[in-house]
Structure 1
Amino acid sequence: MDFVIVHTIDRLARNRADDVAITKTIQGAGAYLVSTTEAISTTPSGRLLHGIMASIAEFYSQNLATEVMKGMR
């Protein structure tokens, strides 16, 4: 069994599209994605949680960029 280990899902990708592409590549290689701090799995509930967490990471990144630009103005 092969694994791709990340600390948190938001360290894997900063947008949902990249997260999906990376996850599909990992699965296509026959490996499993493991987060050291989050309970994600290949069950329907685990995939839902992964998607929600990836969406939150994307929101955080976009919101941070907005706030930085606001601060620079």
Structure 2
Amino acid sequence: MNTKRTPNEELSGGVRVDPKVRPGYEAERAEYESARNAAMDEYFDARPQIMKTRTMELIFEGGFRMAWEYRRNNAA
């Protein structure tokens, strides 16, 4: 059994997202990824003492994803 998540499953809680069922998902995903990449670059550029390793990127991505989902779910 393949338990590896695809990029589309990451933001949807592990559920495969069909663009026909959830219109706008691709645009939402693109917005998320561009915001994440910009924030990650800013974070590591401001902290030269922290090496940008894959482990540190994963830690950052986890925090960013939680904040993104909180903002999305609690938008006024």
Which range, TM-score by smaller chain? 0.3 to 0.5
Q: RCO greater where, 1 or 2, for CA within 8 Å and sep 6 or more?
A: 1
* Higher strand residue share: 1
